Amino acid sequence: MLWGGRFKYGLDNNALKFSSSLSVDINLILEDIEGSKAHAAMLAGVKIISRHESEQITKGLRTIEQEWKDGKWNPDAEKFEDVHSAIESRLFELIGDTAGKLHTGRSRNDQIATDILLWIRKRCFLIQDSIKNLQIILLKISSCHINTLMPGYTHMQRAQPVSLAFHLMAYVEMLERDKNRFEQIYNSNNQSPLGSGALAGSTLPIDREFTARELGFNKPTENALDSVSNRDFILDYLHACSVGMMHLSRLSEEIVLWSTSEWNFIKLADSYSTGSSLMPQKKNPDLAELIRGKSGRAFGNYISLASALKSLPLSYNRDLQEDKAPLFDSSFSYEDSLELMASMLSTAEFNSGRFREEMQGDFSLATDLADWLVLKGVPFRQAHGVVGKLVQKLEMEKRNFKDVTVDELKKISPVFDESAVECLDINNSLNRKKTYGSPNPVLVQKRIEELLKKLV
């Protein structure tokens, strides 16, 4: 134990098992060693320990790091409270009593805050790379489907024609925002808590600027009390994971729908589908469903930590030990989901001609027809009503726009002429779009090229 001096008896075995966080915070072993190396170098720099002692400690830490990577050392969760005590115990075995000097001027409170912050900052880069990879896959698929027609929906009712490229590009833009969130998390958490001690700094001449630089931070944190109790950066990270998982969940829902016989719009590879234990014909989009399901865990992890933090007085409380399980769960789930979504989409096949004939003549071009009237000087509200009456008439007659003649249009409004019928041709619908950000193929192609140039 790192704290047993004033205690007559050791911690009860069941109490140790209940309180041990080693099985979770072992994920921080490399960051803990990294922080300890910087701390040892700083202690030597301010002459609290000798240069030789610092080198001994650093060599021992490197040995532990290699032993861990090689699978030769794996601390027992029933023996140690956390990763810090496990490393210190192993360091004593390797270098003797000099190991006891490493914790000089440092508490587990500032140590763990530093470890988590280092881990999150590294993870931000890894996740950004995974997001970028998924974006590139979506862009490449989109480049092949700029003219692949599909219905655009509002309220899950067919609204206006779009292209598959335009639809997928909406997710590319979502992913761009997701990527930016992790960039912001990295940039806004650039201060090192190391050297804050338990809550009030140290009487020793600790050089916090040195350790901050060594660990890649811009500067030390300003207030030791806040430094050891702050978990806002974990909440920020969990929020970014939650929003990212929500976006993947929305895309997963669409993949599930598109893969049904009713939609017949996407065919997933066998490698990313499962069958049924009872029904031989089944091919299920289970990976998409699992991604969709894991989004709920990500939301729950955010609430879990926010609930733990909401009533904590300053500074450190043991409740904060519960910050790491939700952090790792959300991060690993999100990283896995990004990778699997990328693989699933890159191996999928889209039915390019699925909707073209079906949409020819349906009512999804009603707004285009109303816009045609507006360009002829008809007020939009009046044009809306005219086209609405036309749709009502055709529905009653169980007909659609494909069957409409110019004479019928003129009976609805004398403004209509031969060119109005051209508005009802689904093959020209996307090219007629004028506004920036619309599914006009020229605009979509340009945006794809812009993003590929930026990302690749």
- Looking at the annotation, which residues are catalytic? 155, 276
Give the integer Cα–Cα distance in Å for 70 and 186. 30
Can you name the residues that pair with 349 across neighbouring β-strands?
A: 267
Burial (CB count within 10 angstroms: exposed 0-12, middle 13-18, buried 19+), residue 80: buried
Which of 164, 160, 214, 212 is closest to 191 using CA atoms? Answer: 212
Give me the residues paired with residue 220 across strands. 192
In this structure, the strands spanning 157-163 and 149-154 are: antiparallel
What are the start-end ranges of the H helices in 319-417?
324-346, 356-359, 366-375, 380-396, 406-412
CA distance 360 to 342: 32
DSSP characters over 236-258: HHHHHHHHHHHHHHHHHHHHHHH
Distance CA 195, CA 202 (A): 8
Size (the chain), residues? 456
Instruction: Check if the beta carbon of residue 58 is closer than 8 Å to that of residue 26.
Output: no
Q: Please tell me the distance from the alpha carbon of residue 349 to that of residue 211, in angstroms, as a whole number.
A: 52
Structural contact between residues 206 and 42, judged by C-beta atoms closer than 8 angstroms = yes
Tokens, residue 440 = 């006009």
Residues 379 and 374: their CA atoms lie apart, in Å, by 6
